[in-house]
Each structure stands twice: as structure tokens, then as C-alpha cells.
Amino acid sequence: GQNIDQPTEMTATEGAIVQINCTYQTSGFNGLFWYQQHAGEAPKFLSYNVLDGLEEKGRFSSFLSRSKGYSYLLLKELQMKDSASYLCAIMDSNYQLIWGAGTKLIIKP
Amino acid sequence: SAVISQKPSRDICQRGTSLTIQCQVDSQVTMMFWYRQQPGQSLTLIATANQGSEATYESGFVIDKFPISRPNLTFSTLTVSNMSPEDSSIYLCSVGSGQDLYEQYFGPGTRLTVT
């Protein structure tokens, strides 16, 4: 079967660093995506990893280990506007996205 | 990135009626998708809208309930037919974009409430 696990909710402090983990088991793998979704808004594309390693994009970085079925999204220098849900999604062998349930990130001053 | 608009942004409909949601993209795209997102839940893919052929539906979704049109490479519609309160949800269209079509961009969504 297909399964994507990520924590339901996390809390962090403004200015700090937070790591959101995602583990997966899917039929085929054509890449892993992270999306940010603010309440009441559409998901916004953050990153795409298809090879092992770390991809850095400003304050956000995403890591992938295909052998371990594991990824994380690292957010640095947290800002209040980073409070949102973060969705992990896998592109399967049919090039369709399988979505995790999302991690609600709460940033406290 | 593609700019996507959806109409209507929200609607309140009566049980048994139908609503057609429009999705317009500012550039030609190969792949368009329709998703549903229940409150507080992740996204569920309804179907892939194919230009010039029938849409490809995911398990649990059928054409009679969610007919889809894709008349060209910039436009698609999703109809929610014979609505019931269980159809109350946010409906999102998205497009594959980026150099390798691996980036998906979403429209702002249509918030549907069925009474």
C-alpha cells in the first residue's frame, strides 16, 4: 500500500529552527514535494527532491534519503508568517501526487 | 509559474442541485488536476483532466458525479452533480508546470457548502 507519515502538529519559537519529518512507502518514486498551505489558501509549492541530499532555498531546506524513505523540511530563522500547514507529497510511478495529511506548524513569539 | 484562477470562489448550494467550477490558466499546460480538500484534511485527487479525451478518475470518484471538461490547454471545468452535504469541501484545480512538469501550482480554490 501507499503511506505517507508526518507529525500532525509542531510548535516552535520565532527566530528558531524547526525540522518537519516525512516518511513514506509508495508504489514507485518520481520525486518528493513540500508544499506550504496557510489556512483558507491554496497550497504553495516549496521544494522538489528526486535525488538524495539537501536542497537549500533561502530559509527553507529539504532533504531526501530514498533508501530510508525519509525526507525533512528545515525552516530556519522562523517568522510568524511561517505558521501554516506543511504538506509532504510523493510523485508515484504514474506521475501522480500522493499527499500526506500535513503538519500544522505553530510559531510562538 | 502559472497563474490560475477559479470561479466561483465560494458558493452555497441546495441538496440535489449541481455546480460547475471553472479553472483558467494564463498559459498552455499539459496536465490539469482536480482535488478536493475537506476541512482540516489533506488533498484528495479527484481526476486528471486530459485535453481532447475523457478525464482519468481516481478510485472512489466517477464521471457521473464529477463530470469534467477540458476543451483546450488553458481551461477546464469540474461539475459536482446531485450534491449532498457530504460534498461540502474546497475544490482545487492545479496544473503541472515547471521545466519538467514536476511542479504543481494550485488555483485559489472553490469553497462549496451544500445545505
State whether residue A41 sits within 8 Å of chain B by CB.
yes
Shortest distance between the Cα of A101 and any Cα of chain B, in A, equals 5
Which chain B residue has the Cα nearest residue A47? B103
Q: State mean pLDDT over A2-27.
A: 95
Give residue B66's Cα distance to chain centre: 9
Rounded to an integer, the average pLDDT of A6-29 is: 95
User: What is the spatial distance between Cα A35 and Cα B102, in angstroms, rounded to a whole number?
Assistant: 13
Which chain B positions have a beta carbon within 8 Å of A91's beta carbon? 102
Q: Say if CB B30 and CB B82 are below 8 A apart.
A: no
Q: Distance, in angstroms, between A45 CA and closest chain B CA?
A: 7
Between B67 and A94, the higher pLDDT residue: B67
Q: Which helix (H) or strand (E) holds B27?
A: none
A chain contacts of residue B92, beta-carbon cutoff 8 Å: 42-43
Indicate whether B82 pLDDT > 70: yes
At residue A34, φ and ψ (nearest 5 deg) are -120, 135
- How much of chain B is helix, strand and coil, in % rounded to 5? 5, 50, 45
Contact of B24 with chain A, judged by CB distance below 8 Å, is answered with no
pLDDT at B64 over 90: yes
Residue B52 has pLDDT above 90, yes or no: no
Report yes or no: B79 at the A interface, CB cutoff 8 Å: no
> Residue A80 gets which letter from DSSP?
G
Q: Which of A47, A18, A40 is nearest to A107 (CA)?
A: A18
Task: Report the run of H or E that residue B104 belongs to, with start and end.
Answer: strand B103-106
How far from chain centre, in Å, is Cα B15?
A: 20
pLDDT mean over B44-60? 88
Put simply, whether A9 touches B (Cβ < 8 Å) is: no
Joined grid coordinates for residue B63: 464521471
Tell me the one-letter amino acid at A4.
I
Share of chain A above pLDDT 90, in %: 81
Contact A91, A104 (CB under 8 A): no
Q: Chain A within 8 Å of B99 (Cβ-Cβ)?
A: no
The residue among A38, A108, A45, A42 whose CA lies nearest residue A73 is A45
pLDDT at A28: 87
Backbone angles phi, psi at A81, to 5 degrees: -70, -10
Per-residue model confidence (pLDDT) at position A96: 77
Contacts of A30 in chain B (CB under 8 A): 102
| pLDDT digit string, tens, across residues B87-112 | 999 999 999 765 555 678 899 999 99
Residues of chain A found within 8 Å of residue B43, distances taken between Cβ atoms = 43, 87, 97, 99
Listed in sequence order, the residues at least 6 apart from A71 whose beta carbon sits closer than 8 Å to its beta carbon are A21, A22, A23, A24, A32, A34, A49, A62, A63, A64, A65, A88
Quote the percentage of chain A above a pLDDT of 70. 99
Question: Is A101 in Cβ contact with B103 (below 8 Å)?
Answer: no
Range in A25-29, B3-7, B101-105 the model is least confident about = B101-105
**Can you tell me the mean pLDDT for A13-22?**
98
Q: What's residue B61's pLDDT?
A: 95
- Integer CA distances (angstroms), A8 to A76, B67, B80, in order: 20, 33, 30
